Amino acid sequence: MTAVYINDVSAFLPNQPVGNDEIEDVLGKIQNISSKTRRIVLKNNQITKRYYAIDPETGALTHSNAQMTAEAVRGLRSGSDAEFDPRTIACLCCGTSTPDVLLPGHALMVLGELAIPECDAVTTAGICISGMTAFKYAWMNVALDLVPNAVATGSELASSFTRAKYMTPYFNEKETEGIEKQPLRAFDADFLRWMLSDGAGAALLSPQPNPEGISLKVEWIEHISFAGELDTCMYCGGVKQEDGGVTGWRESEKGTAEQEEPFMMSIRQDIRLLDRNIVDTMGRTLCRVVEKYGLKPEEIDWFLPHYSSAYFRPKFFEVMGEVGFEIPYEKWFTNLPEKGNTGSAAMYIILAELFHSGRLKPGEQLLCFIPESGRFSHCFMLLTVV
């Protein structure tokens, strides 16, 4: 295969950063009541700032997902810091959890926003991993000499699901009475309001490193899913049943309990299932890539983890030690506290900050880690600075 290089990585974060005490001013209060879970969740995730594509004065969305993604693509540079021309894109791969419409695909909507000539355009669906499946498709196309370049993106407009205007209908007076009887169910929905942020990132890939400055050579990228053995953990557009199965929105007329229907289109996460499985499956995936590629922890100069909350930081560190692949914290790089949890865009946003920081040196190796709790999937990627 042809060697593939990341020539640039860019990030787009909408509007001004929002502090912890301002979240409900922007998202709004459900039933005009302050959340009881906010302080608990924020204490655990240690996020201090995040970005929302929302006008804080009117509550209206300021950007669509496709518009944010297009802005990230326009922010790319090529060669010796020259402005990149999106019209030269040969392959556009876009991943997201929160597309603007169900149909057509997100990549096509981004292509429309960019208003560029025809090209290969592919959408990858999922949650956090979707940004990396888009990246892998772009990488494979360049590596197989199918295209001269590719742009991969990850983006999220999570606030569109967490605004009070959107969530209040799911927590009307009738459901509020039920919440008192099922507090964990309410927490599964409210929990994510204090976790998710908006943003987009893009990466430019080609078979040539930059003539000046650094590039990142993509050594390999691996995706492993445990969906065949574990229940759904994070979901939207359905209702989780007692047996662990999920009834999709299309089947709501088939007898879904009336009290379940208002929760159908809210994003939820089964936090008990998350806590039981996300760390263990990460360790199992790490063991596979270590064996397959002969990885040695002492050869890793930077560890770039995307985790949804600082709560999992020591847990991932511990399981890495248990499998014999401990990487000291001083080699970890994350911007979760300042940029928030941007899901499928997170690794692009992390890479963009480090790539342009001036801290990377030729020969250094970066191990990227991206977990997804949807039904427990993990991605590892190894990059070398050239």
Q: Give 215-244 pLDDT, tens digit per residue.
A: 999 999 999 999 999 999 999 988 888 888
C-alpha pair distances (Å), 119 with each of 4, 12, 35, 87? 19, 23, 46, 9
How far is residue 349's CA from residue 198's CA, in Å, rounded to a whole number? 11
Q: What angle do CA 349, 358, 383 make, to 5 degrees?
A: 60
How far is residue 350's CA from residue 306's CA, in Å, rounded to a whole number? 8
Locate all alpha helices (DSSP H) within 153-234, ordered by sequence.
159-162, 164-167, 173-181, 183-190
User: Residue 168 has what pLDDT?
Assistant: 64
List of residues 6+ apart from 244 with CB closer than 8 A: 231, 232
Structural contact between residues 199 and 349, judged by C-beta atoms closer than 8 angstroms: yes
User: Residue 182 has what pLDDT?
Assistant: 44
How far is residue 140's CA from residue 143's CA, in Å, rounded to a whole number? 5
Q: Give residue 201's region: left, alpha or beta (phi > 0; psi -120 to 50).
A: beta
C-alpha pair distances (Å), 295 with each of 27, 85, 233, 341? 44, 37, 30, 28
Structural contact between residues 151 and 91, judged by C-beta atoms closer than 8 angstroms: yes
Burial of 185 (0-12, 13-18, 19+ CB in 10 A): middle
Return the SS3 of 128.
coil
Residue 283: other Cβ atoms inside 10 A: 18
User: Residue 267 has what pLDDT?
Assistant: 87
Structural contact between residues 344 and 128, judged by C-beta atoms closer than 8 angstroms: yes
How far is residue 69's CA from residue 77's CA, in Å, rounded to a whole number? 15
Closest CA to 343 of 214, 236, 222, 229: 236
Structural contact between residues 201 and 368, judged by C-beta atoms closer than 8 angstroms: no
Closest CA to 8 of 67, 73, 68: 73
At 196, list the tokens: 């998710």
pTM: 0.94
Omega prior to 104 cis, within 30 of 0: yes
C-alpha pair distances (Å), 115 with each of 91, 106, 110? 14, 14, 9
Structural contact between residues 140 and 207, judged by C-beta atoms closer than 8 angstroms: no
Per-position DSSP letters for 66-126, written without gaps between them: HHHHHHHHHT-EETTTEEP-GGG-SEEEEEESS-S-SSS-HHHHHHHHHT----EEEEEES
What parts of the chain have a pLDDT lower than 50? Answer: 173-185
User: Residue 171 has what pLDDT?
Assistant: 57
The helix-helix angle for 130-143 and 346-355 (nearest 10°) equals 60
How far is residue 233's CA from residue 255's CA, in Å, rounded to a whole number? 23
User: Residue 176 has what pLDDT?
Assistant: 46
